[in-house]
Structure formats: structure tokens, C-alpha cells
Amino acid sequence: MAFVVTDNCILCKYTDCVAVCPADAFYEGPNFLVINPDECIDCDLCPIECPAEAIYQEDEVPKDQQEFIELNAELSKQWPRITEIKPPLPDAKKWDGVVEKVKYLDTDVD
């Protein structure tokens, strides 16, 4: 079992989650973070840290966001690891709570 970053992280990317992860399991893309399911130790520290409430345990991911389980697994193999908090994206407040942001997901590798 692992934790999964979901839709509401996109275009917000607050990164508070990174600061508490004992496993350094987060990976960073241009406008989204993901968790490597093989590295997450299921400690349950990160969900409460996320201002966007975007992190769920795998078996609690909402039905309409199931695709994020695979996206976390795949993108964490391509993106660089992130271990330190950084400023959120400039329009994070504006995008926080907007639904179905997956169409804006940028999968580029920096």
C-alpha cells in the first residue's frame, strides 16, 4: 500500500508534503508531484500537510481519480526526486479546488 497524489495538486504544487516524508518518496514534475509507491512506507504523515488535501491512501483514492494511482507509479520513474520544500506555483491559490485539472498535467521531464 502507498499514498497517492491526486488532481488537486496540479497547478498548486505547495510541496509541504516533501518536508515530512521520511522516505524521500516524492518526485517533481513541472506542475505536479507524485509519490513512488515502491518507496512510500505508508507512514501517513503527508496527507495532513497538504494544503490542497490532494494526498490519499491508495485504497481511499476517490473513484473518479483512480487514474492517479498509475500516474504516480509511472511519473515517479521519470521525474527527479524532490527532498526540500519550495514556493508553490504562482497561481496556486487560484487553482486550489478547481476540479478535473488532470487535463493541465504537464508530464515533461525538466
CB atoms within 10 A of CB 49: 16
Q: Is 21 in the site for ligand SF4 (CB under 6 A)?
A: yes
Give CA–CA dist 35/55, Å, rounded: 9
Closest approach of Cβ 42 to ligand SF4, in Å?
6
Q: Is 3 in the site for ligand SF4 (CB under 6 A)?
A: yes
Residue 48, all three cell numbers: 495532513
Give the nearer residue to ligand SF4 in terms of CB position, either 59 or 103: 59
Q: Is 38 in the site for ligand SF4 (CB under 6 A)?
A: no
Closest approach of Cβ 37 to ligand F3S, in Å?
15
End-to-end CA distance of the chain: 28
Question: Is the distance from CB of 8 to CB of 96 less than 8 angstroms?
Answer: yes
Residues that bind ligand SF4 (CB under 6 A): 3, 20-23, 25, 35, 40-46
